[in-house]
Amino acid sequence: MSLQILLNGISTGAVYSLIAIGFALVFNILKFSNFSHGATMTASAFIAYFLVASKGWGLAPTLLCSALSGAIIGLIGEFIGFRRILLNHSAPTYFFVSSITLGTLYEGLVTLKTGTNFYVYPNFFDVATVKIFDAVVSKENIIILAISAVALIILAFIIQKTSIGRQIRAVSFDRDTAKLMGINSTLIIQVVFAISGFFGGLAGCFLGIKFTLTSTLGSLVVKGFIASVIGGLGSLTGAVIGAMLLGIMEALFLSLWGSGWATIASFALMLVFLLVRPQGIAGSNVQEKA
Amino acid sequence: MKLFLYVLTQVCITLVSVCGIYILTGLTGMFSLGSAAFMAIGAYVSGLLVLKAGLNMYAAFAAAIIFSVGIGYVIGFPIVRLRRDYISLVTLGFGESIAQLILLLSQFTGGAFGLIGVPRRVNVWFTLISAVIVIAITAFFKTSKFGRQCIAVKSDELAAQAMGINASRVKMTAFLMSCALTSFAGCLYAFYVGYVGPTDFGWKKSADWVIMVFFGGVNSLTGSIFGGAFLTFLPQYMQALNKYRYIVYAVLVLIILNFKPNGVFGEWELSPRNLKRLFSPKKNRREDV
Amino acid sequence: MKKYLAMFLAAVCLFACFGVTAFADDPIVIGILQDTTGGTATLGKSVQKGVEDAIADINAAGGIGGKEVQFIEYDTAANVDTAIAAYIKAVTVDEVDFIIAPPIANIVNGLKAMTASFDVPMITLAVDPACYKDENGNIYSSLFCAQPSTTVQGTIMAEFALQNGFKNFGVFYTKDNSYSVALLNPFIDTVREKGGALEEANIIGYNSTETDISTLIKPLIDAGVDAIYCPNYTAPLVLIKKTCDQLGYTGAIITGLDGAPAFNTQVGADCSNVYYINNIDVYEEATEKMIEERCAEVGAPNKYFLGYDSMQMAAKIMEEVGTDAAAITEKLSSYSYEGMTGVISIDPETHMPVDGTPMFMYKYDNTTPVMLQKYPAE
């Protein structure tokens, strides 16, 4: 494996890890796969495009706008999609269906606004590239990697060291007991959705920069799912490791077997993980009732 | 009239697969986002067998269904041993892989062009009869011992196992039945439309079916069938609303999930007894559920 | 009794008169069946706008044979099932006289079997010759194409590239896009036939869902090719162009119809190494004027003109033979029409334009399109 492929893999993995984190956060707390996450990414990337980037305000405001829109969409989603189901104590399967529906709704709304035209973020960087030994890396990938790393470190700090982080961990461990201990679990769930949306917004914006903005951008959320399965559903560290691993593996498969087989190979990789180590790399903290 | 017949055919084909989803999701509580891939397998295999191998259509149907059940067994092997969340992920990945495989095997499948020139030998009556038979079989299954085992597994796997139900076997059987039904729908589709496109069987289609089942009522076969028929009929007659189609879908389902989580029909099933009760004076009516 | 009979007869007469006058004023109805939602909506909407503008122009000029032209829009949603349902609705419920269908091969392939049972003439813009034939190679009688086939276009691009001194080629195409795949072999065959170098290893197909283009395209650049042929849609093209720039590729990129503007603004950088083919000469006076006046909102101007021409051609024929479906198809199968995209002469053997319908090769000077050559050369 050449250095170039490794670097390509890492830069893809960086975005995957943002997706996987947003996904894992919600899974952690409500124990379901949030399929609306992809459409949240798309919607926030588009909002940032229309409100900020198309006016030529540069990268930082665009990123911020996208992330904040993501957070807001996350909150709205929690309210219209999941709140009542949670209060009704309906089966977790309803969360799942609700998330698919929410995703459809967001995607429909984006399509209504944009049609299927695709949009391209203005070039935030000159196409200048950096040479590392004999490999070429574009500046945008380096910056994406750096920002992702910083965002993830801040998140880790929040989860591990702050009061709100402890509450999140408590609620994800056992919602009812946490409630009895005086934690406002509804508020915590809202916070988690907002953070998840925030990361979704970041990921969406990065995807828009790396690729093009289309209303189906969100389908890349699948990569986040696979990554968090490899890492261990619900584990945040695992999600990042899984995403990096997936990015590198994909780059490797692509260079070896070309497009198409690479997708099948990463699916096979996921299957192997599920069979051999269903708890994922990190070993998840999801408790099985059975 | 022709349009009605065409849409009716589409509804019937959808209902065949919705029955498959009902057995999987409604009875057994497993979510598959790769069911559409089995429809693709059914359509491609049966179409290719007739086109390239010159097989009789019915033999091709049987072969295609057996083939997808075989594939379903391979995929189902890990599925039934996993947490339910993983099932949707595995089937999703499987669906994407099948889509890639169809493109990779372009010398057989026609790749991006799709499979062209499948003889159009299935007509509306054929699909109608098929749908009725499939619905009857599904209804029979629901009330059979097997169906009750499925429901037990769905409600509480651990308790079901404690009662001596072999949960993974029940789940596997349900999964294979659903594979068989969706691939049969694929066969019908291929021989009715005469063309099979590679991009028509993504996870969105599987998700649509799941939504249909939930719309009508995940615990009620009547509800699932109503959901399937209603949500297939609606967009074809609302051409002008096509733009809003998915938004309307989503809003309807969200409302139902929020305010009537058991779907339009709840647990209600169409049967002579229930009909009688429905139309009898109010005082005689007992609360369902 | 006589009184009633008289009244009845009068009523019948009156009804008949109205019926006849209603018949005389019966407008001609065109079905515009396009992908206006779904993945290819940009193309569909452009065609639709072209057809609508043509209809407005025709009506402003007095309609077809004095009859007003109306249109009904149908959306295929880029989905074969929906397209078929819409088609059936158009021909049975709305009884349209003519259909303009989308520039998407998959949709036309799904529809074509249906057209045999209804005989309503239909012009599509799908460029794959297989769209117009059944499995035995027989032509579908009421199905026509108004733009040069992929064979013609691919050959032109290959000839052009060789004439401009490119020798060592690479190909980067989209496996899941029928337009891309259909343009593949004509180009490859022509290049090899005329002495260009194109190694099997340098033909790379990929899926539009792929996230890591860079890894895929690197081998081509490392192989030192001086032109990469990319017959892809615009969105992937922008990505390919950006990736090539990042990887330091300095050779040419030859694209199909989708390299035309707005590709340049979407890349937002120097596009001087990009060559593309187009149906229209954007610097030709009438065309330029029309683009300026009408195409501000149009995503794909060439599709606008193809839609416009298809409609005008259909109107010309109906002017001559009326709205009888059989007469129209009969006439259309060997018709020659000079429109904005040049002379479209339908070949009765293929139901597509004969070789010689003009195509134009362009490149960009920084981001400004420059027309380099017209095919066939005059």
Q: How far apart are alpha carbons A5 and B276 in whole angstroms?
A: 69
Does C280 have pLDDT greater than 90? no
Question: A231 vs chain C: nearest CA distance in angstroms?
Answer: 20
Which residues fall within 8 angstroms of residue A39, CB to CB, at 6 or more apart?
A102, A103, A104, A105, A106, A107, A110, A218
Q: How far apart are alpha carbons A261 and B100 in whole angstroms?
A: 7
Do C207 and A259 contact (CB within 8 A), yes or no? yes
pLDDT of amino acid C52 = 92
- Name the interface residues of A facing C (CB cutoff 8 Å): 4-5, 8-9, 12, 111, 115-120, 122-123, 127, 129, 136, 138, 210-212, 214, 216, 219-220, 223, 247, 250-251, 254-255, 258-260, 262-263
Residues of chain A in contact with residue B93, where contact means CB-CB under 8 angstroms, are 222, 226, 266-267, 270-271
CA distances from C244 to A234, B204, C271 (A): 38, 33, 11
pLDDT band (50, 70, 90) for residue C2 = low
3-state SS, C129-194, equals HHHHECCCCCECCCEEECCCCHHHHHHHHHHHHHHCCCCEEEEEEECCCHHHHHCHHHHHHHHHHC
Task: Return the higher-pLDDT residue of C309 and A219.
Answer: C309
pLDDT band (50, 70, 90) for residue B284 = very low
Give the CATH number, domain containing residue B66.
1.10.3470
Q: Specify which residues C318 forms β-bridges with.
A: none
Architecture of C23-148+284-345 per CATH? 3-Layer(aba) Sandwich (3.40)
pLDDT of amino acid A37 = 92
Q: How far apart are alpha carbons A236 and A244 in whole angstroms?
A: 13
Tokens representing C144 are 């026509």
Tokens representing A98 are 């609700």
Element (H, E) at A41: helix A37-51
**Multiple choice CATH, C151-278+359-375, 3.40.1710.10, 3.40.50.1220, 3.40.50.2300, 2.30.30.40:** 3.40.50.2300
Residue from C304, C373, C320 nearest C52 by CA: C304
Nearest-10 Cα torsion for B25, B29, B30, B34:
10
Question: C285 vs chain A: nearest CA distance in angstroms?
Answer: 28
The interface predicted TM-score of the complex, written ipTM, equals 0.83
Task: Return the higher-pLDDT residue of B117 and C253.
Answer: C253
Range of the domain at B94: 2-284
Tokens representing C81 are 């099932």
pLDDT of amino acid C18 = 44
Domain ranges of chain A: 11-224
Residue C373 phi/psi, 5-degree rounding, is -155, 145
Cβ of C246 within 8 Å of Cβ of A216? The answer is no
pLDDT band (50, 70, 90) for residue C264 = confident
Q: CA Rg, chain C, in Å? A: 23
Q: How far apart are alpha carbons C168 and C254 in whole angstroms?
A: 13
Does B243 have pLDDT greater than 80? no
pLDDT band (50, 70, 90) for residue C25 = low
Which residues fall within 8 angstroms of residue A192, CB to CB, at 6 or more apart?
A25, A26, A28, A29, A168, A171
Pick from A268-282, B250-264, C110-124 the range whose average pLDDT is largest.
C110-124
Do C171 and C202 contact (CB within 8 A), yes or no? yes
Tokens representing A151 are 């965002």
Q: How many domains does chain B have?
A: 1
Q: Is residue B289 assigned to a domain?
A: no
Average pLDDT score, chain C: 85
Q: What is the residue-level pLDDT of chain A in tens, covering all 290 positions?
A: 588 889 889 988 999 999 999 988 888 888 888 889 999 999 999 999 999 877 878 888 999 999 999 999 999 999 998 888 888 877 777 888 888 889 989 988 988 887 667 788 887 776 677 787 777 888 888 888 999 999 999 999 999 899 999 999 898 888 888 888 888 888 999 999 999 999 999 999 999 888 888 877 878 888 888 888 888 877 888 889 999 999 999 899 988 888 888 888 888 888 888 878 777 777 654 444 33
pLDDT of amino acid B281 = 55
DSSP string covering C301-361, please?
Answer: HHHHHHHHHHHHHHHHHHHHHTT-HHHHHHHHTT-EEEETTEEEEB-TTTSSBPTTS-EEE
Q: If 0-12 CB within 10 Å is exposed, 13-18 middle and 19+ buried, where does residue C6 land?
A: exposed
Residues of chain A in contact with residue C212, where contact means CB-CB under 8 angstroms, are 8-9, 12, 247, 250-251, 254
Specify the amino acid at residue B289.
V
What is the average pLDDT across B230-238? 78
pLDDT of amino acid C14 = 47
Pick from A5-14, A220-229, B262-271, C369-378 the range whose average pLDDT is largest.
A5-14
| Helix, strand or coil, per DSSP, at residue C248 | coil
pLDDT of amino acid A116 = 66
What is the average pLDDT across C164-181? 89
pLDDT of amino acid C243 = 87
DSSP string covering B41-54, please?
Answer: HHHHHHHHHHHHS-
Does B110 have pLDDT greater than 80? yes
pLDDT of amino acid A1 = 59
* Order of all β-strands in the sheet with C203-206: C203-206, C169-174, C227-230, C252-255, C274-278, C359-365, C368-375
Average pLDDT score, chain B: 85
Q: What is the pLDDT of residues C330-368, one digit of tens each?
A: 888 888 888 888 888 888 888 888 877 888 999 999 889
pTM: 0.85
Cβ of A254 within 8 Å of Cβ of C215? The answer is yes
pLDDT of amino acid C6 = 56
pLDDT band (50, 70, 90) for residue C22 = very low
